[in-house]
Structure 1
């Protein structure tokens, strides 16, 4: 009995490092444990002046993402998948920056847990992709995935999900195609369209109805700017996209793509 008590006391006094991050970067898969990442030789404390999730300055122990993305090239495409089904689609180039807007993997130390994201919510841990100097790279809120479980190298969105593509006769620099690029950056992490996409989070944006079909006038743009100001509910998770993040010109392009896709509905697979 005494041995059991001593063993139990040791368990209680020993930090638990249960969280793990899986990197699927092509030919190899690497699983990192929390303890390993906290002890990574490139780990350092970073100060985030305007944290997207916490809405205040934050300090994290973090590893530059470049130190973890072994073998990744700037023209590769990555997807960060969170525990709740959020799936951020990200070109690799910004993640490999070593100056300007720089990506970091923040690691939650179980002995020093981060604060909750709100009443009844967990923290942004165990792993959170944060940015220093994000303004320099025009980084979107959707490029700050938290509760990250897996980072994968995948083929480009257009190759994986042809149901998202605008009409093929459009020029590469057509405003609709520019809107499609913005949709990938700002919307696809949470939403599917025509049933296409990996997100398990928000509603489909074309089936059965496209938001351009039921938001009249400028209400869709107002909703994108301030979701809670248009439809308030306690569990609402959609972030607002300010003009600093999504300028009016880009918002117009995004809505233009959605409107275009309302005429390109595809039946969902049974």
Structure 2
């Protein structure tokens, strides 16, 4: 290779390294109000502003973002509607619309990664939380769980409620609505279904099925399942572990009991996918 060719390759490499991230698009599937937003459009949205998240769930520190209230993008959505945010890695967060539409208390925002000012990587060798990231201000006011902070969001779509889409997840219909098992099912939808399926039911592509072939209540002894949910790496440590811990602030002890109760109940209601 002669000197001129070498200089050309070096120059091309430098240009590639200095090229900002490419813009992305967010696909909103909201029936008659469906549309696709480009990064540049969102960064110029009339309601875009700079927000500070004091304790970011994904970055574990204070972060500042350019963001739009998610409610401003959910045209036609009503509080009793159901939405699903799908990430690039297959994470599928099931979201009740009501908290997303709040203007007070816990408030949801779509953080937008500017290609000219990329966010830091989530960890060594990983991507950032962009191009779009659902974040919350004052999340404690709404008991917002870590699973309600999806990052690398590619689409948000309006769907029928989980119970209608996936009857294989349902507890025994003879149980009363306020039975602890049914309350545990609601907690399962909020905290687990974004990563896991159960009886093959669910849209997540991330974690293992929690009933087939075995339910965790069948192989975790005594209180070890609760300990695992609280702090997964306290029982199993490996560098690529992705399951977050659920603190007592996010999942109070009574709720943890209900969640485990639902799982134990479903161990007796296995349905082969």
TM bracket (short chain): over 0.9
1:63 aligns to 2:65 (yes or no): no
1:206 aligns to 2:211 (yes or no): yes
| 23-32 vs 100-109, which moves further | 23-32
Contact 1:79–1:89, Cα closer than 8 Å, also in 2 = yes
Q: Deviations over 1:38-80 (max 9, x none)?
A: 1111000000011000000100000000110000000000000
1:266 aligns to 2:271 (yes or no): yes
> Cα offset for 1:119?
1.2
> Cα offset for 1:16?
5.8
Unaligned runs of 5+ in 2: 1-13
1:27 aligns to 2:23 (yes or no): no
Q: Deviations over 1:143-178 (max 9, x none)?
A: 000000000000000000000000010000000000
1:184 aligns to 2:189 (yes or no): yes
Alignment of 1:248-259 (within 5 A): 248-259=253-264
Give the SS at the match of 1:220. helix
Detail structure 1 runs of 4+ shifted over 4 Å in the superposition: 9-17
Quote the residue 1:124 is aligned against: 129
Provide the rounded CA distance (Å) in 2 between the counterparts of 1:20 and 1:178.
Answer: 36
Alignment of 1:159-178 (within 5 A): 159-178=164-183
1:133 aligns to 2:129 (yes or no): no
Q: Deviations over 1:210-241 (max 9, x none)?
A: 00000001000000000112111111110000
Q: Deviations over 1:66-98 (max 9, x none)?
A: 110000000000000000000000100000000
Provide the rounded CA distance (Å) in 1 between the counterparts of 2:37 and 2:250.
Answer: 32
Alignment of 1:30-109 (within 5 A): 30-109=35-114
> Cα offset for 1:14?
8.1
> Cα offset for 1:120?
1.1
Give the SS at the match of 1:27. helix
TM-score by length of 2: 0.93
Provide the rounded CA distance (Å) in 2 between the counterparts of 1:195 and 1:77.
Answer: 21
Unaligned runs of 5+ in 1: 1-8
Provide the rounded CA distance (Å) in 1 between the counterparts of 2:21 and 2:240.
Answer: 30
> Cα offset for 1:11?
10
TM-score by length of 1: 0.94
| Aligned CA-pair RMSD | 1.6
For these two proteins, the number of residue pairs brought into alignment is: 260
Provide the rounded CA distance (Å) in 2 between the counterparts of 1:12 and 1:219.
Answer: 47
Q: Deviations over 1:237-262 (max 9, x none)?
A: 10000000000000000000000000
